[in-house]
Amino acid sequence: MKTIHVNASKSYDILIERGILDRAGEEIKTVCGAGEALIVSDDTVWDLYGETVLDSMQKADFDVTSFTFPHGEQSKNLSVYADILNALAARHLSRKGLVVALGGGVVGDMAGFAAATYLRGVRFVQIPTTLLSQVDSSIGGKTAIDFGGVKNIVGAFYQPKKVIIDPEVLETLSRRQLMAGLAEAIKMAATNDAELFELIENSAGLTADLPQIIYRALMIKKNVVEQDPRETGLRKVLNFGHTIGHAVESFNAGKLLHGECVALGMIPMSGDNAAARIKSVLEKYGLPSKIGQSAEELMPFL
């Protein structure tokens, strides 16, 4: 097992290990004790991994139930957020209670925001299940919902007590989602870690290298968020590729995944040599590498 200790406004550990899901309960117990808990997940992830996490928490003596909502970004709204609060209130979860987010970035952001606000904050653990959430959204303490047609406009900075990462769950993730997450890891490598970039460039088949890629990408994000937890300066480096990427994402409204747009957005921001290397690594993994719009078309969305 690899452990990363994060020292942001609060400190917590990130554990990375194949198969760790089976003993998630024990790992959570070491930071929270065994008390009342609600697992929040989406329908897809719950069907795949819900029982495993529920069983392991019950074995560790948690008084645990679950709440699931339909998968996808369209659930990241006020009404589903209210449903989570209702589930917490219906259980009379006390301030010593615990929320476990089991899923991708949508679940993490929603469950995290509910945990941050219910009773002014209850304990929160992340079990991210997409590559994007494992390398990016589960660390750094940003939680949010979409509101009024704007992404992530209502939220809070709120740190988890622990993050539990099982690279094995990525085996059920679609290749497209996996690669979209890889694009964020490529972004981190391109800005901070030449060896990680080479590892991704040279990897044969990716799967065997995923634990190492996740670990190194998280080390980059850890170092950045520890120095700049509220994104006043350095943390903006993590936005590499996002300026043009977000414009491409808005223009294509829902047709491209966020990571695919970040992939595209890195190229025009880079010098010739860097752009060529980034392009070739994107092509290696079947990520898009050519923006389909002209500068004029994208300008209104920039």
Q: Does the active-site annotation cover 231?
A: yes
In the complex, minimum distance from the CB of residue 202 to ligand NAD, in angstroms, rounded to a whole number: 25
Q: How far is CA 231 from CA 84, 142, 179, 219, 221, in A?
A: 28, 10, 26, 17, 12
In the bound state with ligand NAD, the residue whose beta carbon lies nearer, of 44 and 270, is: 44
Total residue count of the chain as it appears in this document = 302
Distance CA 221, CA 142 (A): 13
Q: Which of 137, 159, 203, 289 binds ligand NAD (CB under 6 A)?
A: 137
Helix 258-266 vs helix 175-192: angle between axes, to the nearest 10 degrees?
40
Catalytic position from the list 92, 120, 171, 290: 120
Site mask, ligand NAD, residues 69-108, x = CB under 6 A? --xxx--x--------------------------xxxxx-
- Residues 38-67 close enough to bind ligand NAD by CB under 6 A: 42, 44-45, 48
- Which stretch in 50-58, 81-89, 115-123, 168-176 sits in contact with ligand NAD by CB under 6 A? 168-176
In the complex, minimum distance from the CB of residue 33 to ligand NAD, in angstroms, rounded to a whole number: 26
Q: Which of 27, 67, 88, 142 binds ligand NAD (CB under 6 A)?
A: 142
Q: Does the active-site annotation cover 246?
A: yes
Q: Which of 133, 159, 192, 289 binds ligand NAD (CB under 6 A)?
A: 133
In the complex, minimum distance from the CB of residue 104 to ligand NAD, in angstroms, rounded to a whole number: 2
The footprint of ligand NAD on this chain (CB under 6 A) covers a number of residues equal to 28
Q: Does the active-site annotation cover 5?
A: no
Closest CA to 130 of 94, 97, 166, 158: 166
Q: Does the active-site annotation cover 142?
A: yes
In the bound state with ligand NAD, the residue whose beta carbon lies nearer, of 36 and 73, is: 73
Catalytic position from the list 29, 71, 76, 142: 142
In the bound state with ligand NAD, the residue whose beta carbon lies nearer, of 206 and 275, is: 206
Residue with the closest Cβ to ligand NAD? 105
Torsion of CA 295, 298, 299, 302, to 10 degrees: -130
Q: Is the dihedral of CA 213, 219, 225, 227 positive or negative?
A: negative
Q: How far is CA 123 from CA 24, 80, 255, in A?
A: 15, 20, 36
What amino acid positions are annotated as catalytic residues? 120, 142, 184, 221, 231, 235, 239, 242, 246, 258
> Binding residues for ligand NAD, per CB under 6 A?
42, 44-45, 48, 71-73, 76, 103-107, 109, 129-130, 132-133, 136-137, 140, 142, 151-152, 169, 172-173, 177
